[in-house]
């Protein structure tokens, strides 16, 4: 039986816009359908923020039958996920993660607003027009993901000038540890200048000096346990975003085969792939990545034209990422891509989301 640590200081609450997080943890958005209603609601019920990832959400839904259905089906699928999440967590903070690089970015933001999302987190590009798309609901907090102080300054200046609105928080993703699409080029990976240790203090100092800490900095990438959270706070962050930590939970919306891949992962089983979006991505080694990295044949037909810029569709030089991510979510790892951060190999057993929060709040070492 787990006993409570007598050394853990209570984690502070966090104000983001009009919303107060009793626990300063945002669950990272994971597509395709890895973080949908079940995981988002479970995190929200524990006092954090649960995010539904909107990218290609419809592929495993009843609304998608053929490619021409895709965009309308995404809207209906997101509405469904919000309804289901709210039934599980009627009072929790639930939002969405909307990729800037997808063609229906505007539609996903506007659908999030129509569903009364509490927060919208946006990455894979700078969301220059996000306040415009979200204007119908000012109480929805807007959180861009950035990889540098320069990007944060540029975006804030633009939003204030055009929309008279500041970002409600910034999420900094450390490309050296984060999963999925990474905000730097492949040759910039693992550079110290892009690490949390360098960038988070810069962002925190800027926020404090220019905005009196009213734009809190959330750090993401490599956050696993209480020790990591305390370190993030030491750097100046006000909260953390955690994604990979929630993969091997009963509430995660992925197939059991997907989760079992992490339970059997070993050191060295995290690889970097080149995404059709033109960005490097961090993923778990699977039969699919083995084929891809060895130059073998993988599915190269663009099925839904989901990305603004897509090397699969435009150049026919690489794989269809939507198909590959959907395959893994459905349990097909032979043809599936599994995005993850560097902590992938730390999973040793299935857990409930509540267990993870209890472990963190009690200041206990990870049992995984």
Share of the chain above pLDDT 70, in %: 96
- List pLDDT tens digits, range 324-363: 999 999 999 999 999 999 999 999 999 999 999 999 999 8
CATH architecture of 14-254+349-361: Alpha-Beta Barrel (3.20)
Show contacts of 127-136: CB within 8 Å, 24+ apart: 127/98, 127/100, 127/155, 128/155, 128/158, 130/159, 131/159, 131/162, 131/163, 131/165, 132/162, 132/163, 133/105, 133/106, 133/109, 134/109, 134/110, 135/163, 136/110
- CB-based contacts of 142: which residues, under 8 Å, 6+ apart? 17, 119, 120, 122, 127, 130, 131, 134, 165, 167, 168
The mean pLDDT value for 307-315 works out to: 75
| pLDDT higher than 50, residue 255 | yes
The mean pLDDT value for 21-50 works out to: 97
- Read off the pLDDT band of 7 (50, 70, 90): low
Residue 224 is predicted with a pLDDT of: 96
Residue 367 is predicted with a pLDDT of: 60
pTM of the model: 0.93
Cα gap 274→272, rounded to integer Å: 7
The 3-state DSSP composition of the chain as helix, strand, coil percent (nearest 5) reads: 40, 15, 45
Q: At what angle do helices 226-235 and 196-211 cross, to 10 degrees?
A: 50
What are the extents of the domains in the chain?
A: 14-254+349-361, 256-329
Residue 6 is predicted with a pLDDT of: 46
Residue 368 is predicted with a pLDDT of: 60
- Read off the pLDDT band of 185 (50, 70, 90): confident
Burial class for 90, CB neighbours closer than 10 Å (0-12, 13-18, 19+): exposed
Residue 1 is predicted with a pLDDT of: 41
| Max avg pLDDT among 42-51, 264-273, 303-312 | 42-51
Share of the chain above pLDDT 90, in %: 75
């Amino acid at each position: 039986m787990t006993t409570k640590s007598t050394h853990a200081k209570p984690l502070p609450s966090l104000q983001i816009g009009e919303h107060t997080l009793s626990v300063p943890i945002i669950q990272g958005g994971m597509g395709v359908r890895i973080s949908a209603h079940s995981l988002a609601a479970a995190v929200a019920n524990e006092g954090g923020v649960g995010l539904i990832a909107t990218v290609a959400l419809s592929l495993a839904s009843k609304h998608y039958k053929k490619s021409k259905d895709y965009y309308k089906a995404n809207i209906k699928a997101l509405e469904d996920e919000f309804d289901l999440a709210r039934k599980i967590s009627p009072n929790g903070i639930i939002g969405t993660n909307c990729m800037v690089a997808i063609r229906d970015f505007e539609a996903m933001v506007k659908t999030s607003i129509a569903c009364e999302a509490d927060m919208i987190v946006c990455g894979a590009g700078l969301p220059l027009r996000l306040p415009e798309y979200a204007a119908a609901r000012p109480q929805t907090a807007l959180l861009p993901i950035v990889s540098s102080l320069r990007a944060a300054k540029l975006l804030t200046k633009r939003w204030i000038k055009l929309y008279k609105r500041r970002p409600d928080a910034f999420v900094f993703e450390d490309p050296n540890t984060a999963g999925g699409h990474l905000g730097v080029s492949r040759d910039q990976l693992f550079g110290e200048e892009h690490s949390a240790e360098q960038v988070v203090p810069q962002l925190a100092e800027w926020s404090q000096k220019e905005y009196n800490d009213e734009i809190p900095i959330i750090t993401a990438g490599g956050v696993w346990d209480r020790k990591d959270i305390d370190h993030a706070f030491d750097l100046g962050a006000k909260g953390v975003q955690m994604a990979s930590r929630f993969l091997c939970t009963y509430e995660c919306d992925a197939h059991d085969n997907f989760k079992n891949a992490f339970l059997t992962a070993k050191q060295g089983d995290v690889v970097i792939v080149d995404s059709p979006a033109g960005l490097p991505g961090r993923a778990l080694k699977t039969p699919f990545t083995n084929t891809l990295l060895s130059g073998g044949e993988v599915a190269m037909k663009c099925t839904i034209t989901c990305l603004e810029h897509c090397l699969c569709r435009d150049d026919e030089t690489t794989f269809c990422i939507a198909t590959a991510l959907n395959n893994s979510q459905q349990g097909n790892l032979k043809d599936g891509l599994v995005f993850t951060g560097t902590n992938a190999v730390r999973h040793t057993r299935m857990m409930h989301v509540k267990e993870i929060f209890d472990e963190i709040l009690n200041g206990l070492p990870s049992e995984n």
